[in-house]
Structures are given as C-alpha cells and as structure tokens.
Amino acid sequence: MQKYLNAGFCDLIDSFGSDLTIVESARISYGQYHADNTENLIRFLLKNKHMSPFEMCQMRFFISAPIFVARQLMRYRTAKINEISARYTKIKPVFFIPAGLSVEQESTFRSSYEASYESYLKLLSARVKKELARAVVPTGLYTQFYYSIDLRNFFNIYAQRSAKDAQSEISQLVELMMNAALECYPTSCREFLAQ
C-alpha cells in the first residue's frame, strides 16, 4: 500500500495480463499466436497509436483520496468504480490538509472541516437522513473506492493528469498508480513513458 497525501493511500489489489498479453493480442490480428520480440512490438504499437491490445490488461486499485481528487479521476468514465456511500455509511472525519500552508491557513482548513463535520453530526442527531446530511461535508473529505481500469485508458489518464498544468494532488495519485503499473507491465509502461 502506497501512502498518499496526508491521510490517503493507493493500493493495487490485483491485475490481469502482462506485456506478453499485449503482444499476443496484437499478433492475433495477423493470425499469429506466438509472442516474440515483445519490446519492439510494444514500441511499434505505442508509436503508431495501435492501442486496442493494451485494453487486454486490467488493474484494480483500492484508493483513499479527497473527494475533489476522486472526481477528477472518475470524470473520464473509462473505469469501473465502486465507492463507499455516505448514504448508507456514517462519514468518518478524515480530511485533506494541504502541505506547505502557513499556521493560519492550516487553522482555517481545520476549523472549516470541524464546523462542517459538527453540522453533519447535528443533522444526524436530528434524524435527518444520511443521504441529506452528507451535503454539508466539503470535498476535502477523504472517500474510498475501488477503481478498475485497462492499461490503454490508464495511459490516457496518466498523460493528462501528470501534465505540467495538472493539479498536484491528482498528479501525485496517478504517479502512484504508474508505479504499480510498472510492476505489472514493465515494458509497456517504460515504452509509454519514453515517448
């Protein structure tokens, strides 16, 4: 499990396929069933944007991230996602605190979070349903979710969310995901990163 920000994590739960899976999937286009010259073929596929063989490999992550980061990841609609529901579960007060803040700025974050969480608890005590009471909690709250994605779509997300103009918090998350992907698909990821 890789630690993420002040209170989150990114854990690769399982994966399917390998670099060999990608090469086999590409070779089938020509009725070939042997997989050789893996590195050169993967490089060729990436260079020429022949990306469908990369869809044969899947990764499933268990992630804890602030809601505002999770939504950036989820907006692509190319992954399968199942998230903890504040409709059915009482929210735990785990909030994102940015690094590098002044004492006063950090205090403002903390007091804002405490006030919203206190409001949430008051609403629950007044028998307001969880699904409504959750509306007062800010997007700095950590959420947890399973995130299953194929390698092709992960490459797309990684390229956009690791770009120089991407928000730091999402960039840090996709870097952790790429570290895990490198373990599963070393040739494909190295060739992708080299382009």
Q: Which residues have a catalytic role annotated?
A: 161
Q: How many CB atoms lie within 10 A of CB 170?
A: 21
d(CA 34, CA 68): 45
End-to-end CA, the chain: 28
Structure tokens, 154: 């992960």
The radius of gyration of the chain from alpha carbons, rounded to an integer in Å, stands at 20
d(CA 144, CA 149): 16
**The CA-based dihedral angle spanning residues 85, 136, 7, 146, taken in that order and rounded to the nearest 10 degrees:** 20
Alpha helices by DSSP H, listed for 136-167, are: 151-161
